[in-house]
Chains A and B, each alone.
Chain A
Amino acid sequence: MSWMVWTVPTAIFFSSIAAMLAGMTVWEILSPTIERKGFLPIATTRGDRLFISLLSAAFIHLGVIGFTSLSIWIALAVSAVWLLVLMRWG
């Protein structure tokens, strides 16, 4: 494993992604998702909305890191809020 040069932040990052996927699986088994249309222009399932919010979170972080001098924690907070909004009303 040492060749993968793990760091604590990246380990936390991948564990959260894995936890999200596991959580989504359990949620899906308990109550299967129904495709619906929210404020997004397309009908989405729960998994679609998670994917969209994670992908946009990546770009939010890149934007904040590359083109502003704001803290990365602001990007994380914005992404978290965006994820919740998207999961609920997207």
Chain B
Amino acid sequence: MNNKVPNNRAWLLVLPMLVLVAFSAIIPLMTVVNYSVQDVLGPNARFFTGTEWFQSMLNDDALQAAFLRQISFSLIILAIQIPLGIGIALIMPKRGWQASAVLILITLPLLIPWNVVGSIWQIFTRGDIGLMGWGLRELGINYNITRNAGDAWATIILMDVWHWTPLVAMLCYSGLRSIPEAYYQAARIDRASKWAIFRYIQLPKLTNVLVIAVLLRFMHSFMIYAEPFVLTGGGPGSATTFLSQSLTTMAVGQQDLGPSAAFSLIYFLVILLVSWVFYTTIMNMQKDKPPHGGA
């Protein structure tokens, strides 16, 4: 048994970060909790409402619909971006000037600010001047993101895939580069097929970066705001209104601070739960593996 007392001095070095997080996250979060149980009208006019806001938020039809849309959106983009990112990383050149050139080309979408991405795609998909909108229309497809909910969804998913698959690809690429050459040599000696190399060497070694990729992409897509807001404004109707946009409309547009505080807490708890489940599952998958199984 390990009876050594762990050296806890490292915690002192974490203290500055803790202070920073306290001011940037913990204290604001406490304030949100305080707001969620009150109706705050002004500095001296506030009324305790108890659980009323939570009750009305949980039973709000529009929010429930936005929640379902949000979940579907996150699952769809994860299902596309993770395999696609792995695939791109596998075919990226490994060395030489081509490697640098491809890396730069692939990173470009990541450098563009989110609302600019929205504008680019907004123009790109316009029927009169946009290349994609005009092209599709010339081909006889009745494509219109302001009228047709299906078109709006497809465009937002395409936009997110274009914008964020590079991140997954870069993470996987760095994971692949860190696999020692000896593994591949051993595989060659065994005459392992490409699929076997992928399944038993590359994929297990990618687990760590994939955890990060899935977590980042999930949290990020679950909070997506600027891109669909600029591209479709949540429309047509409310077909692409996601959670954060509903929240912004409520908190900033209508100044309903109490309900939106309750709503953001529910939102926060869902993100916390999903992230924790992802993290724990993947970390435990690794722990259960026998030590010679890679990773």
Chain A residues with a Cβ under 8 A of chain B: 2-7, 9-10, 13-14, 32, 42-43, 51, 55, 58-59, 62, 65-67, 72
Contacts and interface: CB of A to CB of B under 8 A. Distances in A.
A65 B34 contact: no
Contacts of A4: 27, 30-31, 34
Contacts of A67: 58-59
A11 to B, nearest CB: 9
B80 interface: no
B284 A42 contact: yes
Interface stretch (B16-24, B111-119, B209-217, B268-276): B268-276
A66 B60 CA distance: 10
A59 B58 contact: no
Contacts, number: 56
Contact of B38 (A5, A43, A51, A66): A5
B177 interface: no
A59 B51 contact: no
Interface residues of B, number: 29
A64 to B, nearest CB: 9
A59 to B, nearest CB: 7
Q: Top 4 nearest A-B pairs by Cβ distance?
A: A66-B58, A65-B51, A4-B31, A5-B34
Contacts of A55: 269, 272-273, 276
Contacts of B46: 5
B35 A66 contact: no
Given A4-B30, A32-B5, A67-B58, 20 more contacts: A3-B31, A4-B27, A4-B31, A5-B31, A5-B46, A7-B34, A9-B37, A10-B34, A10-B37, A14-B30, A14-B33, A32-B6, A58-B269, A62-B54, A62-B266, A65-B55, A66-B54, A66-B55, A67-B59, A72-B50
Contact of A72 (B31, B48, B51): B51
Contacts of B5: 32
Nearest to B266: A62
Nearest to B4: A32
B254 interface: no
Given A3-B31, A4-B27, A55-B276, A65 B37 contact: no
